[in-house]
Amino acid sequence: MNRKYFLGIIAGIFSGITWAIYTIINNLLTQNKIFLPYSDKMYIPILTIIFMHDFFSMLWLFFYLKKNKKISRIKEVLRNKNIHLIFIGALLGGPIGMSGYLLGIKYIGASYMASFSSFYLIIGTFLSTLFLKEKIKLRMLFAVILNVIGIFIINFNWNKIFEINFNTETLFGLIFLLFCIFGWASEGLIASYILKYKKTSIEPEVAIFIRQLTSTLLYGLLIIPYIKAYGLVFEIFKNEILLIVAFISIVGSLSFFLWYYSMSIIGVAKGISLNISYILWTIIFEVICFNIKFQVNFILASCLFLISVILIATLPEEK
């Protein structure tokens, strides 16, 4: 295993770790008293925080690119014939994928959404073989299956499987679930295609800046006005939690960068398989920080994930 391939594996793992940190802080943030008036419409503060995360993420990345004298690279990329793919990836991953995930939680619950959204790993793997001609060896396929099984073991409540009422709300939940799965899988596919297979000169940090800029504009011009949340945006700007929002945007930006960087080296299937470990890392950090007790299902899922990481890390590099 050469050094670059090893760094791709490490970046994939840390993209999951940083997203777990982002998730925990974000969840704590939504419990702030400023959001109490929205207790019946929690999707409003959640979508507002995502919008502000993407906005601050865009600012941090801009300052980073400016400091490293890469602003000119933005202009070059904007003139690149593949720029439309970055815009499409931003639309699929942000407003479609993330909004689908959060709205799906509203209609079918966090447990089912967290479990079934993990199928974006399978869809992403399938799309990578179909469009990018990635060779999925039996060992890689086994690692993907172990990851999905582990996520189901952690999240899925089998005792309530027969309590699901297939009504209009459930139908909406399933529709948003599909948005989430195909949005995230497609973003991973497009990012890997541009950064790894198209052999363009686009760097991950520049691609992410344009991704965040696109997502910010879509949220700011369409989603936030539609849910009438600009009043909440201005309230947050006047509140001390603005510093927390700004901080988690740094963590989220780092996670995006590591995910894109990982996929640019090791491909879609491996990159997504390592990134989706954020579900496991979230529980690990909750156990450490909030004294949540270990359970058998968590230990079993951890073992499955560890095996899958070993399988992925020991796969030969694609030439």
159-168 long-range contacts, Cβ below 8 Å, gap at least 24?
Answer: 160/111, 164/108, 164/112
- 3-state SS, 53-94, equals HHHHHHHHHHHHHHHCCCHHHHHHHHCCCCHHHHHHHHHHHH
CA-closest candidate to residue 276, choices 165, 148, 173, 88: 148
Q: Token digits for 268?
A: 């879609």
In this predicted model, what pLDDT tens digit does every residue of 143-158 receive, in sequence order? 888 878 887 777 655 5
In this predicted model, what pLDDT tens digit does every residue of 268-293 receive, in sequence order? 878 888 888 887 787 788 778 877 77
Helix H or strand E encompassing 50: helix 43-67
- Residue 163 pLDDT more than 80? no
For the chain, the residue count is 319
The whole-number pLDDT of residue 5 equals 84
The whole-number pLDDT of residue 300 equals 82
The SS3 assignment for 280 reads helix
- CB proximity list for 56: less than 8 A, separation 6 or greater: 245, 246, 249, 250
Q: What is the pTM of this model?
A: 0.82
More confident residue, 319 or 280: 280
The whole-number pLDDT of residue 198 equals 65
Q: Token digits for 110?
A: 């966090």
What's the pLDDT band for 294 if we cut at 50, 70, 90? Answer: low
The whole-number pLDDT of residue 226 equals 93
Work out the mean pLDDT of the chain and round it to a whole number: 83
Residue 54 near residue 94 (C-beta atoms within 8 A): yes
The residue-averaged pLDDT of 108-133 equals 77
In this predicted model, what pLDDT tens digit does every residue of 85-110 receive, in sequence order? 888 988 898 888 888 887 787 777 76
Cα torsion for 265, 267, 273, 276, to the nearest 10°?
A: 70
- Residue 219 pLDDT more than 80? yes
CA-closest candidate to residue 277, choices 305, 248, 313: 305
In this predicted model, what pLDDT tens digit does every residue of 45-71 receive, in sequence order? 888 988 999 999 999 999 999 999 989
Q: Token digits for 270?
A: 């491996």
Residue 140 near residue 60 (C-beta atoms within 8 A): no
Cβ-count burial 38-60 (b if 16+ within 10 Å, e if not): beeeebbbbbbbbbbbbbbbbbb
Residue 260 near residue 86 (C-beta atoms within 8 A): no
Query: Can you say how many angstroms the Cα of residue 44 is from the centroid of all Cα atoms in its chain?
Result: 19
CA distances from 28 to 10, 215, 250, 256 (A): 27, 23, 17, 21
Residue 260 near residue 191 (C-beta atoms within 8 A): yes
More confident residue, 202 or 88: 88
The whole-number pLDDT of residue 48 equals 92
Instruction: Count the neighbouring beta carbons within 10 Å of the beta carbon of residue 291.
Output: 7
DSSP string, 133-193: -----HHHHHHHHHHHHHHHHHH--GGGGGG---SHHHHHHHHHHHHHHHHHHHHHHHHHI
Residue 103 CA to residue 47 CA, distance in Å, equals 9
